[in-house]
A = this chain, B = another copy of it.
Amino acid sequence: MTGTTGTILKPSDFQSSQEPRWCPGCGDYAILKQVQTVLAEKGYQPHEVVFISGIGCSSRFPYYMNTYGMHTIHGRAPAIATGLKVMRPDLSVWVITGDGDALAIGGNHLIHALRRNVDINILLFNNEIYGLTKGQYSPTSELYKVTKSSPWGTAENPFNPVLLALSAGATFVARTIDREVKHQREILKQADDHKGVSFVEIYQNCNVFNDGAFADFTDKKKQPETTIFLKHGEPAIFGVNRDKCLVVENGRLKVVKIEPEGSLPGNVYVHDETSLEKAMLVASLFGPAEHVPRPFGVFYRVRKPTYEEQLRQQRDRAKEKMGEVSLQDLLYGDETWQVK
């Protein structure tokens, strides 16, 4: 959805008078900035946009936007946004959530919003930790991670949020990272362009309780070897010298060296945003950065009727069948009688 009422604004026009209260250095700042930029670039007016968040550091986001907003309760933002969007398809509705908010307490609402394809943009700030409650592990923290609530290391495997979103029925799924502001902005723009639910996982550094969680992917030296930036219709090539690629072998992805230089193997993985199967395949690259590169970009994008559209059609079917019915007739119902 794009703004309708008038002048193009500056990013700062989307900034509220409240000073952000995140820790100095927190990755949340960068994301705030990009969102404001994207809204301005897309020509929205502040009163056309609503930010709904749950609870967590990231969920403070709405306070810093000069738009409408709700800072709600832990885990329920997707449900709240659903009610809002269904009644107000004219608004641009964004959900801001954290890895605990979205995947611990809020997991159910998240997958249901994705399944229903509500036309909202869900930004999951994944810092692999509970920031606001000062450092417990989250459903995305890696196995054995030592945190305040796991002094002896955790005992549980993390979720792969992208994979979960794909299997729940999301129609736009992407991953980006706080430090790559250009990539981030591009992804946010596309998420907003997408008609239907958009799920964007954003790796976000919590420099206080989980500093460097994504250093493997942001460190400029390591990055070329540890990341793959997916592009629709293009083969998955990476490496400092762009000398590696992904191939499909017996249904799995494997990293191989491109040799001789420039000659891609026949089974090279070519990304196709419209294929759920391919999206899941490439999303399953989730191992340690030393061994498997981590994909970023748009995994999946497909246009399906949104929940609001389906609901509108449902109403149209009902109206077509029933014709115009007055409230008085409704109250009368099927059978009445007169007492004189």
Contacts and interface: CB of A to CB of B under 8 A. Distances in A.
Interface stretch (A35-43, A90-98, A217-225, A275-283): A275-283
Contacts of A277: 251-253, 280-281, 284
A287 to B, nearest CB: 12
Interface in A125-149: 139, 143
B117 A139 contact: no
Contact of A167 (B112, B166, B310): B166
A307 interface: yes
Nearest to A271: B251
A277 B276 CA distance: 12
Interface stretch (A20-28, A155-163, A237-245): A155-163
Prevailing SS type, chain A contact patch: helix
Contact of A159 (B105, B169, B275, B317): B169
A107 B117 contact: no
A33 interface: no
A168 interface: yes
Contacts of A152: 314-315, 317-318, 321
A157 B306 CA distance: 10
B169 A310 contact: no
Given A111-B164, A164-B167, A168-B164, A251 B156 contact: no
Contact of A153 (B104, B111, B157, B317): B317
A318 B105 CA distance: 28
A116 to B, nearest CB: 5
B280 A252 contact: no
Given A169-B157, A275-B251, A107 B112 contact: yes
B112 A251 contact: no
Contacts of A155: 116, 307, 310-311, 313-314
Nearest to A151: B318
B252 A251 contact: no
Contact of A275 (B160, B252, B280): B252
Interface string A275-301: 111101100100000000000000000
A143 B311 CA distance: 12
A245 B251 CA distance: 17
Contact of A280 (B104, B157, B284): B284
Contacts of A117: 156-157
Contacts of A315: 152
Contacts of A310: 143, 155-156
Interface in A71-105: 104-105
Interface in A248-262: 248, 250-253
Contacts of A313: 155
Q: Which of A106, A115, A166 has the most CB of B within 10 A?
A: A115
Given A276-B284, A277-B280, 5 more contacts: A106-B108, A111-B159, A111-B164, A155-B314, A156-B310
13 contacts: A106-B108, A107-B111, A111-B111, A117-B156, A117-B157, A143-B310, A152-B321, A157-B304, A159-B168, A167-B168, A248-B251, A250-B272, A250-B275
A-B pairs, 6 with minimum CB distance: A155-B310, A167-B167, A108-B108, A107-B108, A163-B167, A152-B318
